[in-house]
A and B are shown apart, each in its own frame.
Chain A
């Protein structure tokens, strides 16, 4: 457990509580502002960027496993099912390709 581990926990906790407090005291104003669409769009864009950076430069088997996970996510909309079947696909493809 390094100081960086402590710092990430502390920073995340402060950020999470701060966002909730903003919602408590200024949420109505933020939601009514002309920039409220940013709140709706940013989480999805961050997640898509995370997926892209995870896949960039990776092997074909990882891209194929990602395609399987995407198909499961679209079909089930279930996090655990997507994780389990995605990992199974990745493991299976690794065995096939050696």
Chain B
């Protein structure tokens, strides 16, 4: 068991290095929005979801509404329902406490690595997932807190254009979430309506929720039309 945990911990290191860069950049930005460095580390350890944290912090900094920021952040995490559900075989046999620890330290990277390694060998299981997950949450917490620590001693980075880094990060996330041509119309609806709503004076937090829901309606209509034509 310890050998497999160690195997997981070592195997995840290249991916952890990439997450550390991303985490450092997030910490830098979070510090600029008023989060002390230790609270960024605390958030990373307690939430352990990179895209969710960056979305929530940006929303909180701009709109200062806890509910809107939490909703936007949580919505980004919905994919974890599917990710954790896919681990049912891996986690079978563990105690409830161990399962809760395992799912908390599961992120995109160690989940993907565990599933791909498990496809090659059935020996890969919960120990590998936990070993790799412990490295990931440690690296994520340390890198975000370090970034925030550096961010607090730097001058106002907004005037150097660093605030745009959030928007650029969202654009990169969107690229990862693109599902092909079926995304075009729902995304166009959401994008256009969000622009219009903010232009008309609606608070950003509400515009995001309303336009995303309109995008869902558009997606539903496309599915209905497709299934009716088949």
Known: A11-B70, A15-B70, A45-B186. A1 touches B84 (CB 8 A): no
User: Chain B residues with Cβ under 8 A from A24's Cβ?
Assistant: 84-85, 91, 99-100, 103
| Contact assessment for B85 and A46 in the assembled complex, using a CB-CB cutoff below 8 Å | no
| Contact assessment for B21 and A51 in the assembled complex, using a CB-CB cutoff below 8 Å | no
In the complex, B7 has a CB within 8 A of chain A = no
Which candidate, B118-126, B135-143, B168-176, is the interface stretch facing chain A?
B168-176
User: Chain A residues with Cβ under 8 A from B56's Cβ?
Assistant: 8, 12
Known: A30-B85, A39-B81, A82-B171. A9 touches B46 (CB 8 A): yes
Interface residues of A in 44-83 (CB under 8 A from B): 44-57, 62, 65-66, 69-70, 73-74, 77-80, 82-83
CB distance from A16 to the nearest CB of B (A): 5
User: Chain B residues with Cβ under 8 A from A52's Cβ?
Assistant: 190-192, 194-195, 198, 211
Checking B46, B47, B48, B175 against A77 with a beta-carbon cut-off of 8 angstroms, the contacting residue is B175
Residues of A within 8 A of B (CB): 1, 4-5, 7-9, 11-13, 15-17, 19-24, 26-28, 30-31, 37-57, 62, 65-66, 69-70, 73-74, 77-80, 82-83, 85-87, 90-91, 94
| Contact assessment for A37 and B74 in the assembled complex, using a CB-CB cutoff below 8 Å | no
Task: Give Cα A29–Cα B208 distance, bound, in whole angstroms.
Answer: 28
- In the complex, which residue of chain A has the Cβ closest to the Cβ of B60? A8
Task: Give Cα A42–Cα B211 distance, bound, in whole angstroms.
Answer: 11
Known: A43-B76, A56-B194. A49 touches B165 (CB 8 A): no
- In the complex, which residue of chain A has the Cβ closest to the Cβ of B67? A11
CB distance from B158 to the nearest CB of A (A): 11
Interface residues of B in 115-164 (CB under 8 A from A): 160-162, 164
| Contact assessment for A9 and B47 in the assembled complex, using a CB-CB cutoff below 8 Å | yes
Q: Residues of B within 8 Å of A, CB-based: how many?
A: 88
In the complex, B179 has a CB within 8 A of chain A = yes
In the complex, B11 has a CB within 8 A of chain A = no
Known: A16-B77, A19-B80, A86-B171. A48 touches B187 (CB 8 A): yes
User: Chain A residues with Cβ under 8 A from B179's Cβ?
Assistant: 40-41, 44
- In the complex, which residue of chain A has the Cβ closest to the Cβ of B203? A53
| Contact assessment for A53 and B194 in the assembled complex, using a CB-CB cutoff below 8 Å | yes
A–B Cβ pairs within 8 angstroms, 25 of them: A12-B52, A13-B46, A15-B70, A20-B103, A24-B91, A27-B88, A40-B79, A41-B179, A42-B78, A43-B75, A43-B177, A44-B174, A47-B55, A48-B174, A48-B191, A49-B191, A52-B192, A53-B195, A53-B198, A56-B195, A66-B171, A69-B168, A79-B172, A80-B22, A86-B171
Task: Give Cα A49–Cα B190 distance, bound, in whole angstroms.
Answer: 6
Residue of A17, A57, A91 ringed by the most chain B CB atoms within 10 A: A17
User: Chain B residues with Cβ under 8 A from A49's Cβ?
Assistant: 190-191, 194, 207-209, 211-212, 215
Known: A27-B81, A27-B85. A48 touches B190 (CB 8 A): yes
